[in-house]
Amino acid sequence: MAGRPFTSYAAFTSHCIPMNKTGPDRRKFFSALTVEFISFVREMKGIPQLKLDSLNELPDEVIETMIPVLFQDSPYRIGPDRLLIFNRKSGMYEDFRLLSKHEMFILKSFDGNSTIKDITGVYAGKYKMDGGEAYQQVKSLFLEWAKHMVCHPKDAHL
């Protein structure tokens, strides 16, 4: 599973450009560079790294132990019933996706404290669902939002 770390070049460069369009943000640049360097060192030590859009290749036994967390310097924001994305051209947040109450519950559960398996159990209990169906919904949303860089596994970053 060796390869690029849990970030991508696009993610790396997007963290270097501030939202206010005043020029490069050195702190974000060096923070992103540090993450890339540490991932590179870990890969050289034999610790496998994986792109966020390749998480679906992992077995369920690994995915269910992941602790999802939202990106801190993400262009996304959570609205009352939707996910918003920052538009650099207009300088404003725009609708990215309208969320159902189920999706909103799952997204708010990505707090950095609960595993996918824990979230699934609470979700299945709250909405009186079968555990397998609940797991598939939590997993698919986690994988989809990881591809969009809304969230990531907690243990993949500093």
CATH number, domain with residue 49? 1.10.10.1150
Question: What pLDDT is recorded for position 71?
Answer: 84
Backbone region of residue 78 per phi and psi (left: phi > 0; alpha: psi in -120 to 50; beta: other values): beta
C-alpha to C-alpha distance for 37 and 58, rounded to whole angstroms: 24
- Looking at the chain, the number of H-run helices and the number of E-run strands are 6, 5
C-alpha to C-alpha distance for 56 and 94, rounded to whole angstroms: 28
Number of domains in the chain: 1
78 within domain boundaries: yes
Alpha-carbon distances of 69 from 5, 22, 45, 89, 153, rounded to whole Å = 17, 28, 26, 27, 6
32 within domain boundaries: yes
Tell me: the pLDDT tens digits for 14-40? 444 444 444 456 766 776 677 677 667
Tell me: the pLDDT tens digits for 34-46? 767 766 776 777 7
Q: How confident is the model at residue 105 (pLDDT cuts 50, 70, 90)?
A: very high
What residues make up the domain containing 134?
A: 9-156
